[in-house]
């Protein structure tokens, strides 16, 4: 019999990518949030033979391409979430199972998962997801490039389901050595939505939390539309994501360069104002004695909107100086890292109980 391995895993199901953290934050993986139908064909021709980029999950006699493989090779594919909501719990379970296979080393591992879902997800959906994952689980995956397959039987002892931004909150508190539940507002600017979560006296405040459709995707969509008007050519917002990530000033369209810095600045300003309005409105629902000590800006959008939002939060009196706004070292992975810490701490507690 193999030795019993205990594993804590943090997962953040985003609209653009699924983030997973394990091995005390040393294993961090990011895969596109896409599931697709299998599309058999020239296997073995790809240079990248990693399981992460060639992931096929088999379940109930059906096969699914997951992540990068689905993005590149599936004809029919679907994203896991849209408009700030999980679309299908079943798909989320498939994605999580596939993601787990990237870490599991052998049969019989005992796993405790903490995962984040968009703030707009209902309590009922959260509990369905939690139940769908807490079980003896059989994971069958195949590497599409090498044909190698792995079959694991693992035991998911528990799957905690929490609102996404809570991961960043926990990570920031732990890494700053804080043991109190500090009152805070966390603004998670993702690809498809901005999620806002308020923690007051250790509680997640429902009326002071919510989500907005305005996020990085809004910026690329508006930029694409403007460029389209200028050039008369079709530009997909998706293709502008790299421009944003690399912070480029110009793009090439039809062999010509177009300066996008002005339109980008304009919409960054515009979208930031919407995020600030909603943040102020939500804060306004807190009782008058509430005192927000921390404002956390997280998610990939913190790279793009961070500076403008800090400045606006200061001007709007949400903070006393722009420096009071905290941005994590790795805003994209921070939720997953925090969830791993939550899973680890729960595992410790369970062990103490003698389970
Ligand atoms: N270094 C970077 N600079 C600028 N933008 C970045 C950077 N890294 C990521 N982004 C942008 O941030 C977005 C992804 O952020 P994130 O991973 O937080 O979103 P998500 O969690 O998938 O989406 P959501 O939270 O809406 O479900 C993408 O649109 C990406 O282009
Ligand atoms: Mg996110």
Output 26 or 82, whichever has higher pLDDT.
Answer: 26
Q: What is the largest CA-CA distance in the chain?
A: 67
Q: What is the pLDDT of residues 310-331, one digit of tens each?
A: 999 999 999 988 888 999 999 9
Mean pLDDT, rounded, for 26-30: 93
**Residue 265 parent element (H or E):** helix 261-283
- Is residue 302's pLDDT more than 50? yes
The set of protein residues with a Cβ atom below 6 angstroms from ligand 1 is 14-17, 81, 188, 190-193, 215-216, 241, 244-245, 299-301, 303-304, 332
Report the percent of the chain where pLDDT is more than 70: 97
Q: Which of 10, 13, 15, 16 to mutate to test the pocket of ligand 1 (most atoms within 8 A of CB)?
A: 16
- Ligand 1 centroid – CA 216 distance (Å): 7
| pLDDT given for residue 242 in this prediction | 87
- Ligand 2 centroid – CA 335 distance (Å): 8
| pLDDT given for residue 257 in this prediction | 92
Q: Which residues of 126-142 are buried (b: 16+ CB within 10 A; e: fewer)?
A: bebbbebbbeebebebb
Ligand that comes closest to the CA of residue 300: 1
- Is residue 43's pLDDT more than 80? no
Q: How far is it, in rounded angstroms, from Cα 47 to Cα 306?
A: 37
**Residue 347 parent element (H or E):** helix 334-352
The CA-atom distances, in angstroms, between 271 and each of 161, 222, 247 are 29, 10, 17
| Token output for 130 | 């939690």
pLDDT band at 278 (very low <50, low <70, confident <90, very high): very high
3-state secondary structure of 80: coil
Q: What is the pLDDT of residues 76-117, one digit of tens each?
A: 988 887 766 778 888 888 999 999 999 988 888 999 999 998
Q: What is the pLDDT of residues 176-210, one digit of tens each?
A: 998 888 899 999 999 999 999 999 988 999 889 99
| pLDDT given for residue 90 in this prediction | 86
Closest CA to ligand 1's atom 15: 300
Mean model confidence pLDDT for the chain: 91
| pLDDT given for residue 346 in this prediction | 94
pLDDT band at 1 (very low <50, low <70, confident <90, very high): very low
Residue 115 contacts residue 225 (beta carbons within 8 Å): no
- Is residue 51's pLDDT more than 90? yes
- Ligand 1 centroid – CA 304 distance (Å): 9
pLDDT band at 273 (very low <50, low <70, confident <90, very high): very high
Which CATH class name applies to 6-163?
alpha beta
Closest CA to ligand 1's atom 9: 300
- Ligand 2 centroid – CA 22 distance (Å): 18
Residue extents of the structural domains in the chain = 6-163, 167-328
Q: What is the pLDDT of residues 153-164, one digit of tens each?
A: 999 999 999 999
pTM: 0.92
Closest CA to ligand 1's atom 5: 245
Q: 167-328 falls under which CATH superfamily?
A: ATPase, nucleotide binding domain (3.30.420.40)
Report the percent of the chain where pLDDT is more than 90: 66
- Ligand 2 centroid – CA 319 distance (Å): 24
Give the relative orientation of helices 301-315 and 261-283 as an angle to the nearest 10 degrees: 60
Closest CA to ligand 1's atom 10: 300
Mean pLDDT, rounded, for 276-300: 93
Among residues 238, 234, 244, which one has the least CA distance to residue 221? 238
Q: How far is it, in rounded angstroms, from Cα 303 to Cα 259?
A: 20
Topology match between the domains 6-163 and 167-328: yes
């Amino acid at each position: 019999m193999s030795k019993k391995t205990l594993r804590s895993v943090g997962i953040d199901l985003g609209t653009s990518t699924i983030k997973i953290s394990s091995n005390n934050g040393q294993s961090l993986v990011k895969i596109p949030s896409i599931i697709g139908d299998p599309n058999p064909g020239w296997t073995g021709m790809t240079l990248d033979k990693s399981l992460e980029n060639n992931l096929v999950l088999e379940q109930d006699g059906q096969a699914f391409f997951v992540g990068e493989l689905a993005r590149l090779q599936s004809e029919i594919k679907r994203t896991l979430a849209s408009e700030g909501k999980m679309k299908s719990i079943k798909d989320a379970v498939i994605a999580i199972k596939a993601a787990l296979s990237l870490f599991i080393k052998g049969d019989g591992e005992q796993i405790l998962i903490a995962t984040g879902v968009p703030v707009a997800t209902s309590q009922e959906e959260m509990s369905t997801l939690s139940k769908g994952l807490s079980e003896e689980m059989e994971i069958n995956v195949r590497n599409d490039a090498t044909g190698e397959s792995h079959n694991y039987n693992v035991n998911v002892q528990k799957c905690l389901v929490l609102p996404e931004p809570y991961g960043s909150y926990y990570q920031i508190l732990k890494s700053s050595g804080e043991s109190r539940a500090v009152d805070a507002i966390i603004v998670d600017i993702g690809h498809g939505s901005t999620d806002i979560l308020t923690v007051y006296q250790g509680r997640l405040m429902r009326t002071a939390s919510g989500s907005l459709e305005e996020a990085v995707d809004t910026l690329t969509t508006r930029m694409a539309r403007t460029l389209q008007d200028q050039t008369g050519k079709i530009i997909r917002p998706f293709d502008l994501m790299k421009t944003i990530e690399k912070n480029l000033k110009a793009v090439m369209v039809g062999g010509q360069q177009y300066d996008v810095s002005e339109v980008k600045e304009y919409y960054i300003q515009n979208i930031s104002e919407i995020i600030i309005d909603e943040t102020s409105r939500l804060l306004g629902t807190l009782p008058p004695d509430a005192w927000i000590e921390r404002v956390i800006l997280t998610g990939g959008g913190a790279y793009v909107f961070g500076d403008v939002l800090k400045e606006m939060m200061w001007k709007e009196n949400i903070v006393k100086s722009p420096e009071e706004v905290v941005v994590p070292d790795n805003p994209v992975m921070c939720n997953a890292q925090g969830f791993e810490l939550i899973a680890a701490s729960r595992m410790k507690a369970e062990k103490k109980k003698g389970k």
